[in-house]
Amino acid sequence: MAFGLDPRNAYTAYFISGENVPREGWVVRDGGFMAVTGDDGSGGMKLHGTWGGAAGKWVPAGSFVVFGDYNIRVAGPGNGNGNDKDVRKPIIIHYESAEPIIGNPYQAGILFQCRISHPEFGTGLAQGISIPKSTADGRTIANIRNVLTFPGLGFGAQ
């Protein structure tokens, strides 16, 4: 199924090596597709392929994998009322789950690792955590912390 992160989550890039990111950061738009595992009668299902291999690995129902793109809006500093201007095209970074994302049965939230790629930066690793939080107005936000590294600490590290 398709998904997109709600902009009210305020997903923001505050630091990018070699970039002059303003203090208020750059907006990260995140969207893609996910596949959610069902239940084969065991409370989950066995996954094969690149991650699970020929023997397969079991995951609980509701585990999921994602693929999509981070679209980082590259804007100059604004005056706090939305009057900032794009200074160049967005930075587009593709991501794909490195392994299934499995919820924590004892606490709301997920840990994730994704393979990432960009034509200029190469391949790398995104890994992070998302623990939902409720706001004063009753909304639930994803509360994501994510670190992207190119290239050395990713899956292609020597």
Tens of pLDDT, residue by residue, the chain (158 residues): 999 998 888 899 999 888 888 888 899 999 999 999 999 999 999 999 988 999 999 999 999 999 999 999 998 776 555 567 788 899 999 999 999 999 888 888 999 999 999 999 889 999 999 999 998 999 888 889 999 998 756 565 55
Best CA proximity match to 58, nearest among 110, 97, 102, 98 = 102
Give the HSE-up count for residue 10: Cα atoms under 13 Å, Cβ half-sphere. 7
Instruction: Please state the separation of Cα 133 from the chain's center in Å.
Output: 17
Instruction: Say how far apart CA 110 and CA 142 lie, in whole Å.
Output: 10
CA distance to 38, 56, 101, 102, per residue, from 60 (Å): 8, 13, 10, 7
